[in-house]
């Protein structure tokens, strides 16, 4: 959902924050301020116009998957005032045989940076598989988590099913507010 650009009610803000419509709310609530991109200073209902806490999309034109990587393509879909490009799972390899998985990484990439800029992490959930991960921000257009391989040569990693190649999975991406 995106907050309206016209009149906004406190119940709209509660709904965008995932709360019951009648939950008591102050504009100084930390989650409300984060949603409005106003961590301090004066705040008004105008600051909430058009803001989003989460987006949900089906991946289109998914890329091929192999043991090491997979990407879900969103083709520049509008998200948080930017253009969402991909959600990706990848690896770094090496070791004595040169083929062991050393780390797994999971990232979200925007072709156009969200505007206004998202100050913190994103939670990515594959609604088709149930896999979910919180990704810290690494740049204006990317959020990434890297984790060490937990075991054997091809240990699938803790969030392996976040992205499946050749699957039109449904994803929800949420700003941490």
Whether residue 105 sits in one domain with residue 34: no
Are 15 and 38 part of one and the same domain? yes
Where does residue 22 fall: left (phi above 0), alpha (psi -120 to 50 degrees), or beta otherwise? alpha
Domain, as residue range, for 33: 10-51
Q: Do 75 and 45 fall into the same domain?
A: no
96 shares a domain with 14: no
Pair (44, 64) in one structural domain = no
Same structural domain, 22 and 75:
no
Q: Which residues contact 90 (CB under 8 A, 6 or more apart)?
A: 68, 69, 104, 105, 106, 107
Half-sphere exposure for 57 (CA within 13 Å, toward CB): 23
Residue 155 inside a domain? The answer is: yes
Return per-residue pLDDT of the chain as tens, 177 residues: 566 567 888 888 888 778 888 889 999 998 888 888 888 899 998 888 877 777 787 776 555 566 678 888 888 888 888 888 888 888 888 777 777 778 888 999 999 999 888 888 999 999 988 999 999 999 999 999 998 876 666 666 678 888 887 778 889 898 886
pTM score of the predicted model: 0.77
Q: How many domains does the chain fold into?
A: 2
Does 61 share its domain with 47?
no
Pair (147, 81) in one structural domain: yes
CB 134 within 8 A of CB 119: no
Note whether residue 108 is domain-resident.
yes
* Same domain membership, residue 89 and residue 36: no
């Amino acid at each position: 959902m995106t907050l309206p650009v016209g009149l906004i009610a406190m119940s709209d803000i509660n709904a965008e924050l995932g709360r019951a419509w009648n939950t008591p709310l102050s504009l100084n609530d930390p989650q409300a301020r984060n949603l409005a991109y106003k961590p301090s200073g004066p705040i008004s209902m105008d600051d909430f116009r058009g803001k989003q806490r989460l987006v949900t999309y089906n991946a289109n034109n998914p890329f091929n998957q192999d043991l090491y990587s997979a990407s879900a393509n969103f083709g520049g879909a509008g998200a948080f005032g930017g253009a969402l490009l991909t959600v990706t799972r990848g690896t770094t390899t090496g070791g004595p045989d040169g083929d062991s998985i050393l780390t797994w990484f999971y990232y979200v990439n925007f072709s156009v940076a969200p505007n206004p800029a998202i100050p913190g992490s994103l939670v990515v959930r594959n609604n088709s598989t149930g896999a979910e991960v919180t990704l810290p921000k690494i740049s204006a257009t990317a959020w990434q988590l890297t984790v060490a391989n937990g075991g054997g040569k091809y240990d699938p990693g803790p969030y392996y099913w976040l992205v499946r190649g050749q699957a039109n999975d449904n994803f929800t991406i949420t700003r941490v507010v």
